[in-house]
């Protein structure tokens, strides 16, 4: 057991790092259908990471979450660097996830199949999940636009070279030969601006649809707003990437929160398509991501849960009543599912905002922080009155 624990701990931290870096890249991947898949993969990887940690706790490795694997975060950030979404997808699914699978296989080759069977069972499921992700990408072709950049063998060979000289040994990241070399692209530090398929309409903040008067117009606006929740998910993903100091349980909840918001966008897309409206016909908003990116992660999370989501229930319940009154049971069901999800997300705020305040040594009370976040939105609405409808979740 003593030999396995450091390796299993290192696998936990590697799995956790992959969750965080995938989330950090979500806004930088331009393809709508890839974003939907990535959100599912992040959540599945988060569940896998949680399973590894639970096994470590069963083995009484109670401090495993807090141990460090030296240089791991920076090394992954180097591999994920640059601003080319295509190159990142090929790196992640073509070489990085297969390398992760190989490290798990190394562990399995050295663990006892009887004594360590519970660990092996967990890790075999992780391998199955990772292989499914790689198989998805091998088949993936963007639905709404063509690949943006040509396949770069040089970039992939550089990453493969670094991975070939990297291993986990006794719980440490060991880099030999080319693994420690620098790369020709900057280290990944986050995505400044949201990207969308080139076929999508991305207007300025004054040109999105206004409140309608007919039932059809109002229904369209509800589900168009749901489509825009993709950028809400992308903002949550930045929090996931930027809060390594937080407990793993926060990252697990945030992965669920982010995946829910991508699902809401998919629900909006599905309902609009059922109503005969193609995704390429509607404006795609991206400016709220930039606004939220100017806030630190603590304020961003408080704004999104205690202000934006908490203020949405009256409007969403009114939508359900409208749909039911018009006999639109499908739309009412969509909106009802959304409400239940948002209740969970506000509960995440109640659970984690106090912890964020403590971890980041912020002396404000929850009430003071919430009022500050409300003031941030009020300022934007004052400067851009037309943005008012979209600054609060619909």
pLDDT digits (tens, 9 = 90+) for 141-165: 999 999 998 877 788 888 999 999 9
| 386, pLDDT greater than 70 | no
Please say whether the beta carbons of 380 and 387 come within 8 A: yes
Confidence of residue 359 (pLDDT cuts 50, 70, 90): very high
- CATH 1.20.1260.10 is held by the domain 4-180: yes
pLDDT of amino acid 218? 95
Longest dimension (CA), the chain: 69
| 388, pLDDT greater than 80 | no
pLDDT of amino acid 33? 98
d(C-alpha 308, C-alpha 288), whole Å: 12
DSSP H or E run through 168: strand 166-169
Instruction: Please state the pTM of the whole predicted model.
Output: 0.94
pLDDT of amino acid 378? 79
Confidence of residue 250 (pLDDT cuts 50, 70, 90): very high
pLDDT of amino acid 382? 55
Confidence of residue 391 (pLDDT cuts 50, 70, 90): low
Domains 4-180 and 215-391 share a fold: yes
User: Among residues of the chain, what percentage have pLDDT more than 90?
Assistant: 82
Alpha helices (H) along 59-189? 72-79, 85-91, 97-110, 117-139, 153-164
pLDDT of amino acid 154? 84
pLDDT of amino acid 200? 95
pLDDT of amino acid 331? 98
DSSP H or E run through 175: strand 172-175
Looking only at the bridges linking them, the beta strands covering 172-175 and 166-169 are antiparallel
| 114, pLDDT greater than 80 | yes
Q: Domain extents for the chain?
A: 4-180, 215-391
Topology classification of domain 215-391 = Ferritin (1.20.1260)
pLDDT in tens, 162-188: 999 999 999 999 998 766 656 778 999
pLDDT in tens, 219-248: 999 999 999 999 999 999 999 999 999 999
User: 276 or 392: whose pLDDT is higher?
Assistant: 276
pLDDT of amino acid 209? 77
Q: What is the mean pLDDT of the chain?
A: 92
Tell me how crowded residue 51 is: count the other CB atoms within 10 A of its CB. Answer: 18
Q: If you average pLDDT over residues 293-305, what whole number do you get?
A: 96
DSSP H or E run through 169: strand 166-169
Confidence of residue 333 (pLDDT cuts 50, 70, 90): very high
């Amino acid at each position: 057991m003593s030999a396995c624990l450091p390796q299993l701990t290192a696998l936990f931290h590697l799995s956790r790092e992959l969750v965080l870096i995938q989330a950090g890249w979500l806004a930088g991947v331009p393809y709508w259908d890839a974003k939907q898949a990535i959100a599912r993969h992040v959540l599945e990887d988060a569940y896998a990471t949680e399973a590894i940690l639970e096994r470590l706790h069963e083995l009484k490795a109670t401090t495993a979450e807090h141990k460090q694997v030296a240089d791991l975060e920076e090394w992954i950030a180097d591999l994920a660097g640059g601003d080319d979404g295509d190159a990142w997808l090929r790196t992640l699914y073509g070489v990085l996830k297969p390398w992760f699978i190989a490290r798990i296989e190394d562990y399995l080759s050295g663990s006892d199949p009887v004594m360590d069977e519970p660990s092996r069972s967990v890790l075999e499921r992780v391998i199955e999940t990772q292989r499914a992700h790689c198989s998805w990408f091998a088949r993936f072709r963007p639905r709404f636009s063509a690949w943006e950049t040509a396949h770069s063998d040089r970039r992939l060979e550089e990453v493969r070279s670094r991975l070939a000289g990297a291993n986990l040994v006794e719980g440490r990241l060991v880099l030999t030969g080319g693994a420690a070399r620098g790369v020709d692209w900057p280290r990944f530090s986050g995505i400044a601006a949201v990207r969308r398929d080139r076929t999508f309409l991305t207007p300025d903040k004054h040109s999105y649809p206004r409140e309608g008067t007919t039932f059809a117009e109002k229904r369209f606006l509800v589900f168009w707003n749901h489509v825009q929740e993709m950028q809400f998910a992308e903002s949550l993903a930045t929090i996931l990437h930027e809060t390594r100091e937080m407990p793993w349980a926060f990252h697990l909840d945030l992965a669920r929160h982010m995946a829910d918001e991508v699902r809401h966008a998919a629900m909006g897309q599905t309902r609009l398509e059922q109503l005969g409206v193609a995704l390429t016909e509607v404006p795609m908003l991206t400016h709220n991501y930039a606004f939220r990116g100017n806030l630190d992660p603590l304020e961003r999370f408080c704004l999104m849960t205690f202000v934006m989501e908490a203020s949405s229930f009256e409007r969403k319940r009114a939508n359900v009543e409208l749909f039911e009154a018009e006999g639109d049971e499908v739309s009412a069901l969509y909106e009802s599912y959304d409400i239940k999800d948002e209740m969970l997300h506000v509960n995440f705020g109640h659970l984690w905002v106090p912890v964020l305040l403590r971890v980041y040594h912020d002396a404000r009370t929850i009430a003071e922080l919430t009022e500050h976040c409300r003031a941030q939105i009020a300022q934007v609405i004052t400067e851009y009155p037309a943005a008012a409808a979209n600054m609060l979740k619909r």
